[in-house]
């Protein structure tokens, strides 16, 4: 492997790892909303309260967006053959996070309602899939650990995309099938939204 290829693999792996980390932090921020609202209620200055809530929303939703983007950039057969991506955990987790982003765009998840609760479940499930994939597959014990030879850890190790091209290909097709359906739904919702706005005018 030449230096350029090694740099590509290192960059792709680092971006993927950051995407997984961002999804977990975003999920924790979504779950921790009561804490931020409790602090918000104690702020007497309107400007301070607005800045506090703005920082929370930007960090929470911004991390979610970048998590999806960073994982999506690596969900292709070329990079999946070079880096260790947990199959099917990370790709399916990405799909759940994308659906959650779409719900945020087209639905009211800022108020505490059934949709926001459901959306939080989606984000938590996506982050949990990423966490399981990272801890049990991507960073499973190496040869220096005696447990690495146990059937469970050998199976986990075989779920790495760079060690299982067949599974990587199957997961890739399924994931992009889901993404195409999600994209079509997003276009339909966007057209529907624009029509409703136009009718109101």
Output the CA–CA distances (angstroms, integers) from residue 45 to 42, 48, 51, 55, 59, in the order listed.
Answer: 9, 5, 10, 16, 21
pTM of the model: 0.92
Which pLDDT band, with edges at 50, 70 and 90, does 5 fall under?
confident
d(CA 87, CA 156): 9
Q: What is the pLDDT of residues 56-111, one digit of tens each?
A: 999 999 999 999 999 999 999 999 999 999 999 999 999 999 999 999 999 888 88
Q: What is the pLDDT of residues 34-47, one digit of tens each?
A: 999 998 888 888 88
Instruction: Specify whether the CB–CB gap between 87 and 174 falls below 8 A.
Output: no
């Amino acid at each position: 492997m030449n230096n350029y290829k090694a740099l590509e693999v290192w960059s792709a792996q680092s971006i993927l790892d950051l995407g997984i980390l961002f999804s977990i932090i975003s999920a924790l921020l979504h779950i921790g909303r009561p804490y931020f609202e409790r602090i918000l209620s104690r702020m007497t200055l309107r400007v301070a309260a607005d800045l506090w809530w703005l920082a929370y929303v930007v960090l929470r939703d911004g991390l979610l967006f970048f998590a999806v983007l960073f994982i999506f950039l690596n969900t292709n057969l070329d990079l999946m053959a070079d880096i260790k991506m947990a199959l099917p955990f990370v790709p399916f987790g990405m799909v759940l996070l994308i659906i959650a982003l779409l719900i945020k765009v087209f639905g009211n998840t800022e108020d505490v309602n059934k949709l926001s609760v459901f959306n939080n479940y989606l984000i938590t499930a996506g982050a949990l899939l990423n966490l399981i994939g990272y801890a049990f597959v991507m960073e499973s014990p190496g040869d220096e650990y005696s447990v690495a030879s146990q059937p469970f850890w050998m199976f986990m190790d075989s779920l790495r995309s760079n060690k299982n091209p067949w599974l990587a290909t199957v997961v890739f097709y399924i994931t992009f099938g889901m993404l195409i359906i999600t994209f079509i739904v997003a276009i339909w919702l966007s057209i529907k939204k624009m029509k409703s706005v136009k009718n109101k005018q």
